[in-house]
Structure 1
């Protein structure tokens, strides 16, 4: 809820049993889930009753400290009001960021295993987006803070894959076609994400300029999945009207000049 980290799980249908299976996989990998928020879908309401019954039955089999421990391990379910999906906008937006682009890149049928692999890679991309910076004192190596740090302790990564964008689909194996889908998703989602971070009425109102020392995201079209280019503003180049539209940004060991529309603020301002 705080970091908007996303966990994607593939299920075969929308029954309560299928959801409980997904929930058990989630708990086994991520740890105990103390609270769940959801809408009042029949599969969720049914799963809540089944899980509550399982916990009650498990506690009856033990006494003393074991029963108390089982009570603390239970999950409390919170339902939003019926017919009010807008009240679940926090998680609906996260799922939409995946569904919107996934529906546009899937042009042929994939197997269950291929879909699981694709969703796991998509999850890594979504959880790799920079929220802020970990250490602002380093001038050379800027380490971003991502939702993945709160899940696995580090930024999620994807296994490198060759560029398959210019190869006809008919010449690709199923595995290479799957990796091409991953690359297409990454380019679509990254461009939309950075564009939304830059929404501003720049032709009508004067907006706040970047200051020297600010950490920014640099828009780049050729980055591999789950990789982001970040840099530090080292110089400003104002125009004749005093408005700065070009900045010198240090990224790694090099200093490059980038226009204002290729730079983005981080979602979390450390100041």
Structure 2
């Protein structure tokens, strides 16, 4: 585990270490911890910038959460509920393809590392947009979650569409690639994923239109409406 050097994290590490020492009396738990080889690493004090990727994620969540909440006052239980649902939205984002099967659109998400499977939410009817004067508190929380989801999802999808074509060429989309489809209205934690089944290159050999296979059927979309998820080959190339 890696984290910054905040007092809450340092205190939690000390409490867990004390609990760990108590658990060492149990042979089964001692074997579990020995096999897991869990280590908690802290950044140097006063160096939050060394958090890199996760600090950037926290910054973006705070950015949208402040604008969603505005001047609204929430109780502890309401705020805890909202943060839990925001966490589910963020940890449901697709990272890369998880299967090579043409009919399988399962992707790897942060939820797989947390609970071992994708994060799911109970479907809810789409209500009116949050306007700050909703009478029911649960409707208020649901509206805030939908507001956060739309803002954060659109920003995340845009981050996958790097405008590198103006500086250097990127590889063509190929058959079998898994993509996220933009501008598709979806409820929180739900992503419109599709697999490329056919490419339609132009006269210059560059692919700008593709045929997609989704759970609802086939679609034809331009690549500007698609966000290509990293493949195992891309990840290996970046590491090299």
Tell me, which stretches of 5 or more residues in structure 1 are unaligned?
Answer: 1-35
Match for residue 123 of structure 1? 87
Q: Deviations over 1:42-86 (max 9, x none)?
A: 444455556556666x48xx9795996799699754332222222
Distance apart, 1:90 and its partner CA: 3.6
255 and 76 in structure 1: CA distance in 2 versus 1, 3 angstrom threshold: closer
Q: Answer yes or no: is the 8 Å Cα contact 1:218–1:231 preserved in 2.
A: yes
Distance apart, 1:158 and its partner CA: 1.6
Match for residue 73 of structure 2? 109
Match for residue 158 of structure 1? 121
Match for residue 217 of structure 1? 180
Equivalent pairs, count: 232
* Residues in 2 aligned to 1:243 and 1:165: alpha-carbon distance in whole angstroms: 42
Match for residue 231 of structure 1? 194
Work out whether 1:133 is the aligned partner of 2:97: yes
* Residues in 1 aligned to 2:163 and 2:211: alpha-carbon distance in whole angstroms: 22
Match for residue 269 of structure 1? 232
1:1-271 equivalent positions in 2, closer than 5 A: 36-46=1-11, 48=13, 52=17, 58=22, 77-107=40-70, 108-137=72-101, 139-166=102-129, 168-269=131-232
* Residues in 2 aligned to 1:133 and 1:154: alpha-carbon distance in whole angstroms: 14
Q: Answer yes or no: is the 8 Å Cα contact 1:220–1:229 preserved in 2.
A: no
Q: Answer yes or no: is the 8 Å Cα contact 1:131–1:268 preserved in 2.
A: no
Distance apart, 1:207 and its partner CA: 2.2
Bigger radius of gyration, 1 or 2?
1
Calculate the aligned-residue CA RMSD, in Å: 3.1
Tell me, which stretches of 5 or more residues in structure 2 are unaligned?
Answer: 235-240
* Residues in 2 aligned to 1:262 and 1:96: alpha-carbon distance in whole angstroms: 26
* Residues in 2 aligned to 1:236 and 1:92: alpha-carbon distance in whole angstroms: 38
109 and 64 in structure 1: CA distance in 2 versus 1, 3 angstrom threshold: closer
* Residues in 2 aligned to 1:152 and 1:115: alpha-carbon distance in whole angstroms: 23
Match for residue 238 of structure 2? none
SS in 2 for 1:123: helix
* Residues in 1 aligned to 2:14 and 2:150: alpha-carbon distance in whole angstroms: 42
